[in-house]
Amino acid sequence: MIDLEYFSEVSSIPDLLVRAARAQPLRDAVVFPDASKSYRQLLLDAVEVARGLHALGVKRGDHVGLLAVNCPEFVDALFGISLLGCVAVPLNARHKASELGYIIDNAQLTAVLTTAAEGQYVDFCQLLCEALPSLSGAADPPRLALPEAPLLRRVVVLRGGERAGCVGRADFVRLAARVDDDVVERARCRIRLRDPALIMYTSGTTANPKGCVLAHEAVTRGPAERSRRRLSRGGHDVTWGAGPLFHIGSLAPFIGTIAVAGTYLTDTHFEPGRALELMARGGVTNAWPWFPAIVQGLLDHPAFDPARLAQLRHLIVIGPPSLIVRLQRLLPDVEVIQGCGMTETAGIFAISDRDAPQALRATTHGKVVPGMEIRIVDPGSGLPVAPGQVGEIQVRGYCVMDGYFRDPAKTAEALDGDGWLHTGDLYCQSAADDLMFQGRLKDMLKVGGENVAAIEVEAFLCGHPAVKLAEVIGRPDPRLDEVPVAFVELRPGASADAEELIAFCKGRIANYKVPRAVYFMRADEWPMSATKVNKRALRARLPAAGGQ
């Protein structure tokens, strides 16, 4: 029977903003502890960004990087890039120079928008100068010509003072004033729903991050439908997100909030006391802490008081049963929801069923959402497994990426001819269609919600002159799910201790990728499986390992 209550209203990213600005122009679109922005102001500021980009020669379809923490300028830039029909490439603010340099070149960025506010935790302009050494000496910032990134033509500072090699805020605003709004409006109206909207970089099983190309439909349809039909109870929805907006786990609920003209609460960084105060003051109705480390930080903080969150109705998190049960006990009036998702699926592709009992929510990760398909297959034969058996989950539907940017080989590995995404994640499915995560087929770690390719850390460690061989695995961690640890064989005659190798990594790769411990191996100690080191055997050695 046709469900007359379900129908899809798919929009481009900028159309969601335009609709919300029309419906609720004076309502706060986004709120930070010390700043807020109404829908009317957000649209005006986003249009100014689009006009400024156009004045600098950025064209429809160009790739524009966005390097900033959660802040008003990030939101302005995201929508401004989209309004012009360009592809936004959010850059991980935790990346170091080598990682940024690779992505700027690989993503074929023609522009980067960033911030340089005084007192900012990370000096992004300095970081960009480290990634692109010729940037600081550029004589003509509006027309860059850098050997490290041949397509990059401009770096714009949206907040902060003048910086070498960059177009400053004041100049950017003056350039924007020369462009009529009609230029932006024509560009917005030409956007097609299957046009690329975002390229989100994610670590996988290769040494360098891969750029997931996500269409407007992929980015907006699921979050909009969840916000309108699953999470909204009518009226004014107020959503809090803990994570950075350059991460799909936070960007998706933000997009969903805009879809219902709600208010999104966030911060430049996560600090439990600040977050609890913001949620209480803002009257939060939906919360997306996502990962156990964030949830535990909230629950264990002295300021946590369920009475201050009296309007909270939904809390979406992925965690172990013990944590879910604790949440259900402390917040009995809140619907605790689990889900399944990844960058390659623009976020969630499965979510807890509305009628699922609490006990089931604590142990399962939901059912596939309308419009999406999943199947669980034997990794060897590719044949479907029986209910309850573990296999690789494969996903097909509107939210699946179009491919990895400039990587046809990896795209062919991930997407087959029938459109199935081979995720590399292991799941089982009950007879009632509930999904349960069982681990990762790929050699990849999940550190506090961030994907970390073991081979990337291994390759970096092998750059140390004393290291002959490095193998990285995940060690279970109560706060971050797992953390990287390294097994290392030194070169003959070389010497190094654990502290030296850890210090070698710090400040040069993202902190969440730095090994928490190093264990030393002799050449004859490696557990081998045919021609490769058996990492399963390495994991078995962890309790008895004698390193630091």
- CA separation (Å) from 48 to 88, 160, 184? 16, 17, 9
Residue 341's nearest CA partner among 247, 404, 266, 229 is 247
Tens of pLDDT, residue by residue over 34-57, are: 999 999 999 999 999 999 999 999
Q: Which two tokens stand for residue 136?
A: 């600081």
Give pLDDT tens digits along the chain (548 positions): 888 878 888 999 999 999 999 999 999 999 999 999 999 999 999 999 999 999 999 999 999 999 999 999 999 999 999 999 999 999 999 999 999 999 999 999 999 999 997 777 889 999 999 999 999 999 999 999 999 999 999 999 999 888 999 999 999 999 999 999 999 999 999 999 999 999 999 975 556 899 999 999 999 999 999 999 999 988 999 999 999 999 999 999 999 999 999 999 999 999 999 999 999 999 999 999 988 889 989 999 999 999 999 999 999 998 888 889 999 999 999 999 999 999 999 999 999 999 999 999 999 999 999 999 999 999 889 999 999 998 999 999 999 999 999 999 999 999 999 999 999 988 999 999 999 987 777 777 889 988 787 888 988 999 899 998 899 999 999 899 899 999 999 989 999 999 999 999 999 999 999 999 999 999 889 987 545 788 878 988 886 554 44
Strand order through the sheet with 286-290: 35-38, 28-32, 263-265, 238-241, 286-290, 314-317, 335-337
In the chain, where are the structural domains located? 17-191, 211-440, 444-544
Amino acid 237: pLDDT: 97
The CATH code belonging to domain 444-544 is 3.30.300.30
pTM over 0.85: yes
Amino acid 545: pLDDT: 52
Q: Which two tokens stand for residue 515?
A: 């090994």
Instruction: State whether residue 443 is helix, strand or coil.
Output: coil
Amino acid 459: pLDDT: 83
Separation of alpha carbons 249 and 545, rounded Å:
34
Residue 333's nearest CA partner among 355, 359, 307, 302 is 307
Exposure on the CB side of residue 289, measured as CA atoms within 13 A: 28
Tokens 């490290």 correspond to 148
Strand partners, 372: 397
Separation of alpha carbons 463 and 504, rounded Å:
9
Tokens 């994570």 correspond to 243
Contact between 169 and 39 under an 8 Å Cβ cutoff? The reply is no
Exposure on the CB side of residue 58, measured as CA atoms within 13 A: 40
Torsion-angle region of 366 (φ positive above 0: left; ψ -120 to 50: alpha; else: beta): left
Q: 520: burial class by Cβ within 10 Å (0-12, 13-18, 19+)?
A: middle
Residue 84's nearest CA partner among 105, 111, 103, 120 is 111
Torsion-angle region of 75 (φ positive above 0: left; ψ -120 to 50: alpha; else: beta): alpha
One-letter amino acid for residue 1 of the chain: M
Amino acid 542: pLDDT: 87
Amino acid 547: pLDDT: 44
DSSP track, 260-299:
TT-EEE--SS--HHHHHHHHHHHT-SEEEEESHHHHHHHH
Superfamily of domain 211-440: ANL, N-terminal domain (3.40.50.12780)
Output phi, psi for 283, to 5 deg.
65, 50
Fold match flag (17-191 vs 444-544): no
Separation of alpha carbons 343 and 177, rounded Å:
36
Tens of pLDDT, residue by residue over 442-480, are: 777 889 988 787 888 988 999 899 998 899 999 999 899
One-letter amino acid for residue 452 of the chain: V
Instruction: State whether residue 367 is helix, strand or coil.
Output: strand
Contact between 52 and 287 under an 8 Å Cβ cutoff? The reply is no
CATH 3.10.20.90 at 17-191, yes or no: no
